[in-house]
A and B are shown apart, each in its own frame.
Chain A
Amino acid sequence: GAGVSQSPSNKVTEKGKDVELRCDPISGHTALYWYRQSLGQGLEFLIYFQGNSAPDKSGLPSDRFSAERTGGSVSTLTIQRTQQEDSAVYLCASSPPGLQGRQYFGPGTRLTVL
């Protein structure tokens, strides 16, 4: 079946602009996660959704970052007033119902802030 998809695959933006990154999880997966992978920091957790609610937002680095999930499916990560340090690969993962589900990752969105 179809895996986790993310769009766009690449995004180049100018400093100060807002960007939206999209994640389509695997159908039926109730949990959705956003991570960020950058050269200096490795892979870091950003936010976790269970259904449409986000019980863990502890990884969002600043109030410029926000995310929402609608219909228990698609999620959008929004970065306002982008900065050069936001440049990274943003990865989305989903997992099926049940606490033991492994996480399935999408291919990521590479964000470059000029």
Chain B
Amino acid sequence: KQEVTQIPAALSVPEGENLVLNCSFTDSAIYNLQWFRQDPGKGLTSLLLIQSSQREQTSGRLNASLDKSSGRSTLYIAASQPGDSATYLCAVRLSNAGGTSYGKLTFGQGTILTVHP
């Protein structure tokens, strides 16, 4: 059974800091990995998706890396802003036999990020 762990559970930083969120997974037979952000009382917003064949993806101030062999992904946020405050979730999609995938996501518990002015 795939297990996804996120560290730290919570993080508070001053505005302008660069920060790293960590995600680890137990089954390396993944199809892809997504990072989401969730604001209080809202649904999930997809930030970055990394396919299993890729090493990293970038979008603006966000960069996500993937190391399948070690079962790890990191989300790097540069020059953090108060608007980045949210819960960040990592989710893994497993491959089926034959390299296909049903699409079911297994989520970590999330990292609650607070960026204070």
Residues in A lying within 8 Å of B, measured CB to CB: 4, 31, 33, 35, 42-45, 48, 55-56, 58-59, 91, 93, 95, 99-108
Contact = CB atoms under 8 A, between A and B. Distances in A.
Interface in B27-53: 31-32, 34, 36, 42-46, 49, 51
Contacts of A107: 42-43
Interface of B: 31-32, 34, 36, 42-46, 49, 51, 89, 91, 100-110
A31 B103 contact: yes
Contacts, number: 55
A48 B103 contact: yes
A42 B107 contact: yes
17 contacts: A4-B43, A35-B105, A43-B89, A43-B107, A48-B102, A48-B103, A48-B104, A56-B104, A58-B104, A93-B44, A99-B100, A100-B51, A102-B34, A104-B46, A105-B44, A105-B45, A105-B46
Q: Is the interface of A mostly helix, strand, loop or mixed?
A: strand
Nearest to A6: B43
